[in-house]
Structure 1
Amino acid sequence: MQKIDVLIQEADKNLTICNACRYCEGFCPVFPAMERRQSFASSDINYLANLCHNCSECFYACQYAPPHEFGVNIPQSLAKIRKASYQQYAWPGPFARLFNNNGLVASLALGLGAGIILLLFIALNGGLGQLFSGAHGGDFYAFFPHNTLVLAFGSVFLFALLALLMGFLNFWRDSGETIRDLGNLSAWRQAWSDALSLRHLHGQEDRGCTYPDDNHSHLRRYFHHFTAYGFMLCFAATATGTLFHYVLGWSAPYSFFSLPKLLGTLGGTGLLVGPAGLLYLKLKRDPNTADTAQTGMDIAFIALLWLTGATGLLLMLLRETGLLGLMLVVHLGFVMSLFLTLPYGKFVHGLYRLGALAKNALELQREAAGKTVVVSKPRENSVKFYQSIKDNK
């Protein structure tokens, strides 16, 4: 039996027991979505796994959690399914395996490789001596022509965007929704509201995520906000710089108080604080509620975000020094690695989770309209198991 089949069976068992117990139904959207089903196809389990925010509260509240013989562990079971779904939906599929077990090594190797290519470009266009000459006047384009950077990074960004879109469509179709359902604006408004506020990281009674010894904290939500909004501000800085260059005809370098610089500074600061905090919480968490096999993938993404933010800020601080060229190579190497790994690492969980939130909103609409939302065909063994647990509850 393949590993994914074992994971699906484990999740099916856990979810079936939960469906009979229903003690945690008010904790998060996973449990009401679970209760709308009598049994669970693999597509249902993938959907529920990506709807789960891994706050871990259900694990500590569960009467059937280890060391009980049922061994119910929803956070860990769904975390394993999530990791498998990243590879299942990835496009092109074989690329995902590069980051499956050695995400940190592969990401840093990509960054190093990109840096070497950039150094070779400089060596072939004026020599490496210009890296430390200080004759650049703070102008990035003294090392790389503007059009060269646009062509190289634009191509990689467009590929990453296409791969993310194809992966999302694979997830959406597998979830049982149609392309037409993508046009439901009210469902997407709800999904974006939930995602941007990280509402489901508040926990029951707004106590936040749960940690060992049943401690609660909102820190994970705060650090996610720093990370997500820091990333978006950095992207906005790049987009604004592009607008300045092509629409307004204002060429870089820009002053510190220009919009691209201010957005980049705020974004870079967010990428210093957020990923560092998330790494701290990741090391602090209860390993019983996580899939330790994906730790490398998680840390790779956190490291690339932090290094991108840190080198970006250093690049700004050292712009007028002889270290500008070297810092530019290092920063662009990490940015290139980040772009290339976005569709195959931890970043995609945000995209699939957004899709899961939209699907959940669609199901709630159908439920309110009196329409059935159970999409999976009941499996005989699951129904019998469900009934036996319910009868002996």
Structure 2
Amino acid sequence: MQSNELLQDGKRQMKLCNACRYCEGYCAVWKAIEWRRDFTDHDMAYLANLCHDCRDCYYACPFTTPHEFGLNPPKLFSSLREKVYQQYAWPSAWGKLLGEKRRGFWIVLLVGIVCLLAIFFASGGMSGMLQKHVGTGSFYKIISEITLIVIFGILGLWMVGGWLIGACRFWHDIKSAQSEKITAKDVATATSYALSLRYLDGEGAGCKYPNDALSGKRRWLHHFVSYGFLLDLVSTVLAAFYSHVLHVQPPYPLYHPVVMLGALGGIGIIIGVSGLLILKAKSDHTVSDSEASKSGTLFSVALLTVAFTGMVLLATRETAAMGIVLIIHLGSVAALFFTAPYSKFVHFVYRYLALVRYAQEERVANHGTNKVEKNIN
């Protein structure tokens, strides 16, 4: 379905849902729908990213296929999210290229590994790759420190820059036309919703995923991935502090905070991603867009590749296999960073902004309700 057709069908479905309101109170999406009478293209982008794909509404709806209305909000929103990732990506052409070509990550991974090998050969040759390197600075005998700083500094800026530009474009389109401004309380509320994954909670009962039975597995597995990634991020920042401020070079002992945090994060990602992939394989595919599902699976496998090769590197860092494993791990990280603004990785950016917008609307709506109650009293 083309973007314009998808948007028109989305508006049709939202108007029907707004008239029915059988799913009233299920999640943030249904409150946001109730606060509207008409739906713009930007509203659809906002609602799609506000949706956490819990799927409760689909299994409750009396108007799904084969009913003539053919309502399927979860599938609609998953399709729209894919369009959003491409539409707001920067550079836009790359967003379409890497978004439509699902092999993008693996192509970039291969190119990254080849480039890292070329750098290594230019500086030392194959003999050093297959040697056992131990002690302080052993990683830098494979790839020099300055080379790593330059490569991953550029890739880090590329990733964050792409996210920020996409975020600015998205926010420009979904921000409220009301005079009410975003407050610190709105940001705090949205942050709380995001960190707790409130809208995967089902008010404590869980979501109907992977099937129509309520379960909290998806939320907890998502927590493993999210907080595992945050632990790895903290480990990386801490490693930079030790290396460039305290001048203590890696690799660090197993009991070192850098290693412990990184290992815990890697284990968390492996547990979370593996569990989510298993749940996805068991899920009802009629409730999701096939292209969005492929995109999500690719990102999951990419993240799993980074975490797994990182753990293998930890296990082989004092063996002759360290050089090869290091190159593969760094290549997977480079590919993840490069494709981050165009892959499912970017979903947290748009979802968080949608939650900020929702927190603002919720505050304004509650304020209006309170004013009415005071006037009645």
TM-score by length of 1: 0.90
Structure 1 residue 306 corresponds to structure 2 residue 304? yes
Residue 319 of structure 1: how far off its partner (Å): 0.7
SS of alignment partner, residue 214 of structure 2:
strand
Which residue in the other structure is 2:185 paired with? Answer: 186
List, as ranges, runs of 4+ consecutive aligned residues in structure 1 with deviation greater than 6 Å: none
Report the count of equivalent residues: 367
- Cα gap change, 1:252 to 1:328, in 2 (>3 Å): same
Which residue in the other structure is 1:251 paired with? Answer: 249
SS of alignment partner, residue 370 of structure 1:
helix
Structure 1 residue 63 corresponds to structure 2 residue 79? no
Q: Distance in 1 between matches of 2:209 and 2:160?
A: 35
Task: Please list the CA deviations of residues 153-199 of structure 1 after superposition, one character each: whole Å capped at 9, or x if unmatched.
Answer: 01111111011001011110100348x98862111111111111111
Task: Please list the CA deviations of residues 220-240 of structure 1 after superposition, one character each: whole Å capped at 9, or x if unmatched.
Answer: 101111111111111111100
Residue 212 of structure 1: how far off its partner (Å): 6.4
Structure 1 residue 224 corresponds to structure 2 residue 222? yes
Residue 101 of structure 1: how far off its partner (Å): 2.9
- Kindly indicate whether the alpha-carbon contact (under 8 Å) linking 1:207 and 1:218 is maintained by their aligned counterparts in 2: yes
Q: Distance in 1 between matches of 2:341 and 2:41?
A: 22
Residue 70 of structure 1: how far off its partner (Å): 0.5
- Cα gap change, 1:68 to 1:111, in 2 (>3 Å): same
Ranges in structure 1 where 5+ consecutive residues have no aligned partner: 372-393
- Kindly indicate whether the alpha-carbon contact (under 8 Å) linking 1:136 and 1:142 is maintained by their aligned counterparts in 2: no
Residue 99 of structure 1: how far off its partner (Å): 2.3
Which residue in the other structure is 1:87 paired with? Answer: 86
**Which residue, 276, 291, 294 being the options, matches 2:292?**
294
Residue 213 of structure 1: how far off its partner (Å): 5.7
Residue 266 of structure 1: how far off its partner (Å): 0.4
User: 1:33-72 maps to which residues of 2 (within 5 A)?
Assistant: 33-72=32-71
- Kindly indicate whether the alpha-carbon contact (under 8 Å) linking 2:295 and 2:344 is maintained by their aligned counterparts in 1: yes
Ranges in structure 2 where 5+ consecutive residues have no aligned partner: 370-377
Q: Distance in 1 between matches of 2:366 and 2:212?
A: 35
Task: Please list the CA deviations of residues 113-147 of structure 1 after superposition, one character each: whole Å capped at 9, or x if unmatched.
Answer: 10111111111111011111114547101111111
Q: Distance in 1 between matches of 2:175 and 2:331?
A: 39
Q: Distance in 2 between matches of 1:325 and 1:27?
A: 51
Which residue in the other structure is 1:124 paired with? Answer: 122
Task: Please list the CA deviations of residues 95-114 of structure 1 after superposition, one character each: whole Å capped at 9, or x if unmatched.
Answer: 112222332x2101111110
- Opposite residue 220 of structure 2, the aligned amino acid is Y
SS of alignment partner, residue 368 of structure 2:
coil
Structure 1 residue 30 corresponds to structure 2 residue 29? yes
- Kindly indicate whether the alpha-carbon contact (under 8 Å) linking 1:101 and 1:296 is maintained by their aligned counterparts in 2: no
Shifted more, 138-147 versus 317-326: the winner is 138-147
- Cα gap change, 1:358 to 1:249, in 2 (>3 Å): same
Which residue in the other structure is 1:171 paired with? Answer: 170
TM-score by length of 2: 0.94
**Which residue, 368, 371, 374 being the options, matches 1:370?**
368
- What percentage of residue pairs aligned between the two structures are identical? 38
Task: Please list the CA deviations of residues 343-366 of structure 1 after superposition, one character each: whole Å capped at 9, or x if unmatched.
Answer: 101011111010001000011122
User: 1:141-160 maps to which residues of 2 (within 5 A)?
Assistant: 141-160=140-159
Structure 1 residue 98 corresponds to structure 2 residue 87? no
Structure 1 residue 14 corresponds to structure 2 residue 8? no
Shifted more, 287-296 versus 18-27: the winner is 287-296
SS of alignment partner, residue 172 of structure 2:
helix
Q: Distance in 2 between matches of 1:241 and 1:212?
A: 38
- Opposite residue 200 of structure 1, the aligned amino acid is Y
